[in-house]
Structure 1
Amino acid sequence: MKFKTVAEAFNFYRTQTVQQIETRAQEIGQLINTDANANIQELNIELDGLKEAKANHEERSQLQDKLKTWTPIAGASTQTTELPTDADAILKTPEYRSAFFKSLQSKPLTDIEQRAYKAVMEKRAAFGTQATLAAVLPTQTHNEIIQKARGLRALVTASRNFSIPAKLSVPVIGPQSAATWHAEGAPVEGSDVDPVSVNFNAYELIKIFSISASASAMALDSFESYLTGELANCLLDAMEAALATGTGTDQGAGLSSITFNTTNSMTFAVSPAFEDFVATAALLKSGYGAGASWAMNFSTLYKQVYSLTDANGRPLFIQNAAIEGAPAYLLGKPVILSDSIADDTIYYGNFGFMGYNLFNVMVETSRESSFKSNLIDYRVTAVADCKPIVSEAFVKLSKA
């Protein structure tokens, strides 16, 4: 058959199989080699049409393969058939995210979701000693929890977050003496730098809560939103409390674990005065004041601080009431409000020298433990610790 244009040849062959297209191409090759009278121009047109028809057939075949494995999930990106080879990278994929929440709802998983879930669980089994059924939170969900904490004007917001999946040692070096003027030729004595390490241990945080079995009927996005909120409340409320009052024994150490005496604290009898705040601020060692903040609970703020004024009648506490969430200041320094701090206790210091480490967040589910109540139990665990990195970065004003 003769073709005047490549389009004509393409339209003729596009409905034929790849085998038929390749057979015709071989026939044209033999004609060119054996027939001296063959019309080379017409054969070239036909070959171009065959080439385009074969390419079109291959593209359609690839598209059909994608459609076979395409499973749209509400709120998640379109799934693919390929997964990263590293389990940590799989944690960031939408496939593992949907598999994680489907498994908690006892919903069936697609093939690629099963592969993603299995890859993370195999690494989890090799990593820790807890139950291998514990599901590690998807990266996106873990980030959403931290974002919720960042919305709070609290200690977890101001303190340094490491999020390193291991025990952590932070070296701290004290300030060195100033350089000395040197007389030419005179000997100079060296000085040693002796860093002290602050160690963050691996304590367990745990919380068990129950959800009605009707949660299994929730849409995936709704269930994730609900579970994320519960996780944020459970883990970060505990971390907030530890940053304030943790003892350091089988738990994180907080501000209350610092040894306060006459060199780094002040007291007041009934209510603090303007002079008490000035004197307390003066106790903080030079160098820490540049990034210092005041920290107290809401009750202390409104009962003891809110109405205070200086000698000229100017208020100590300043807040932009016209803008919700605007920073508040006391003597020109930001105020951190946390209900975990004890009443009538006010801290002043640089909270960049307060740290916490929160990692390995996991969720397990059980339908047997609350079988009679038609509830599903969820156990949330994490490994965490917190403590003041440099104790001298904080001073205290409290009721005697």
Structure 2
Amino acid sequence: MKKDELLKKRADLMANAKNDIVNAKAEEAQKKMDEIKKIDEKIEKMNVAEANLKALDNKPAKVNNLSKENKELGDEIGLEKVDNVIKKANYVDAFAKTMLGQKLTPAENEVFVKENAAFSHSTENTGILIPDTVVDGIFKIAEEQYPLFADMKGYNVRGSLTINKHDGIVSGDAQWVDESTQADDEQNSFGQLVLKGFELNKVATVKWKMKSMSVESFIEFLTQELADRIGVALGVAAHQGTGVKSPKGVEVQLKAEAGTPQVVQYTGNIAYKDITGALAKIHSSYAAKSVIYVNNATLWNQLANITDTNGRPLFIADPTGQTVGQLFGHEVKVDAGTLDGEVLIGDTADTVVKNVNQAMSLAQEDHVKGRSTDYGAYTIVDFGMLTTKGFALLSPKTASAPTTPGK
């Protein structure tokens, strides 16, 4: 059976398994899940074979030595593109060696000076540009733990980013009129979302005896260390940022809105009507793509225990493990940035924008007495909402001191 046929069969089995779960047919659902696992094993073997074939077809020797014999390959993938890939790879090594105090080769020194000269020229920053691969790794880890931040539409515009937004029609909307009657002129209300940027800094300390680590180990260590804290800062701010020394979070903005029209409060435990009441707050144009964001404790202590009139749970766990599950047809995402007892529902991709105003850089400082080196990462980031109508927040009326988000 071909791969596309296997994928189609898998999709059909998934749909049928979910239907069995909804109808309390556990045994039938389990049989279909067993079939899905067998299909996944076949697909995985195909993927491994494809990856191995691709690796053989793209040997480093061909890329690094584009001589006359390899001209055909160079023409096919583009000499300039290959050259850029090589330089990026060299810059990662040059960056790591510089941070570890190791000597650079002439080629590494050339690409290191060139990359940072361009970076320093375009910003006032005096740090060293962190390679794209490291930055991507940092943000990837952050986005895995904080899906609200991941779902925001992103830009990389230096300086302030201004986005015009349509707030509504004051008068003159579409109307029924008599043949001889002139329709009212349309008057629109427009606003602006201005993302100026907030500074974000994180320092990782490395003992000198650790600086003998390999380039690969250093990159892995730095990526994880910076992601652990930068990720928490970005992810928590996406929800709870105050707007003072940090961007304003979505939940903070919903709670601060006059009359809190997008906030639904509940007493005790979350009930069926509380969820439907929150969903009703979302404007119809954003409802279909809305996602439910909740922390792990609230998901399993509350949402997973809500049942219909027949006692069947409303939350449907994803048996494949590709997602957490669904509630009322909306995907549920576990996000450490939400407070205990709170549930955020909304179409993030169409209503929230983030901008990295300045690329992430790294400065270092040696401490002789402590025999250690501080590596300080620095970037400028901002985000904001185009409209609050695409969100609803379910929040307890009286809550005990909430746990610190990000934990």
TM-score, normalising length: structure 1 = 0.71
**Is 1:265 aligned with 2:263?**
yes
Given the alignment, which residue of 137, 154, 157 partners 1:161?
Answer: 154
Tell whether the 8 Å contact from 1:91 to 1:97 is kept in structure 2 after alignment.
no
Partner in structure 1 of residue 219 of structure 2: 224
Aligned to 1:199: 194
Letter in structure 1 aligned against 2:108 = E
- Gaps of at least 5 residues in structure 1 are 1-73
Alignment check: 8 A CA contact 2:343 2:394 kept: yes
The letter for the 1-side match of 2:210 is: A
Distance 1:195 1:153 in 2: 31
**Amino acid paired to 2:214:** A
Residue 291 of structure 1: SS of its match in structure 2? coil
- Is this contact kept in 1: 2:64–2:86, CA < 8 A? no
Q: 1:326 to 1:202 in 2, by over 3 A?
A: closer
CA deviation after TM superposition for structure 1 residue 246, in Å: 0.2
Residue type matched to 1:288 in 2?
Answer: Y
Which of 333, 336, 343 is equivalent to 2:333? 336
Corresponding position: 1:147 with 2:140: yes
Q: Work out which of the residue numbers 275, 289, 293 in structure 2 matches 1:295.
A: 293
Q: In the superposition, relative to structure 1, how do residues 262 and 101 fare at CA in structure 2: closer, same or farther (>3 Å)?
A: closer
**Contact conserved, 1:91 with 1:138, CA < 8 A, in 2?**
no
User: What is the rounded CA distance, in whole Å, between the counterparts of 2:262 and 2:352 in structure 1?
Assistant: 17
Counterpart residue type for residue 151 of structure 2: A
- 1:92-131 matches, within 5 Å, as 93-130=88-125
Structure 2 unaligned regions, length at least 5: 1-59, 67-78, 398-407
Q: Cα gap change, 1:396/1:199 in structure 2, threshold over 3 Å: closer, same or farther? A: same
Higher helix share: 2
Structure showing greater radius of gyration is 1
2: CA distance between counterparts of 1:99 and 1:79? 20
Contact 1:296 / 1:338 at 8 angstroms: preserved in 2? Answer: yes
- Using the alignment, how far apart are the partners of 1:100 and 1:344 within structure 2? 44
Q: Give the Cα–Cα distance (whole angstroms) in 2 for the partners of residues 117 and 262 of structure 1.
A: 51
CA distance in 2 between partners of 1:366 and 1:102 (Å): 15
Pairing partner for 2:234 from 230, 239, 246: 239
Deviation of 1:243 after TM superposition, in Å, equals 0.3
**TM-score scaled by length of structure 2:** 0.70
Cα 1:254–1:79, aligned 2, differ >3 Å: closer, same or farther? Answer: farther
From the superposition, tell whether residues 202 and 90 of structure 1 become closer, same or farther in structure 2 (CA, over 3 Å): farther
How far apart, in 2, do the equivalents of 1:239 and 1:181 lie?
48
Aligned to 1:36: none
1:121–1:380: structure 2 CA closer, same or farther, 3 Å change rule? Answer: same
Matches of 2:141 and 2:301, distance apart in 1: 28
State the alpha-carbon separation in 1 of the partners of residues 260 and 225 from structure 2. 42
CA displacement, residues 223-264 of structure 1 (integer Å, 9 cap, x when unaligned):
111111222222222110100100111211102232354632
Given that 1:105 and 1:215 are in contact with CA atoms closer than 8 Å, whether structure 2 keeps it comes out as no
Query: Do structure 1's residue 386 and structure 2's residue 383 form an aligned pair?
Result: yes
Give the Cα–Cα distance (whole angstroms) in 2 for the partners of residues 307 and 327 of structure 1: 15
Amino acid paired to 2:334 = L
Cα deviation for residue 270 of structure 1 reads 1.2
Q: How many pairs align?
A: 315
Map of 1:3 onto structure 2: none
The alpha-carbon distance between structure 1 residues 257 and 194, as it changes in their structure 2 partners (threshold 3 A), is closer
Q: Percent identity?
A: 21
Mapped contact 2:359–2:379 kept (Cα < 8 A): yes
* CA deviation after TM superposition for structure 1 residue 180, in Å: 4.0
Counterparts of 1:114 and 1:108, CA distance in 2: 9
* TM superposition shift of 1:342: 1.3
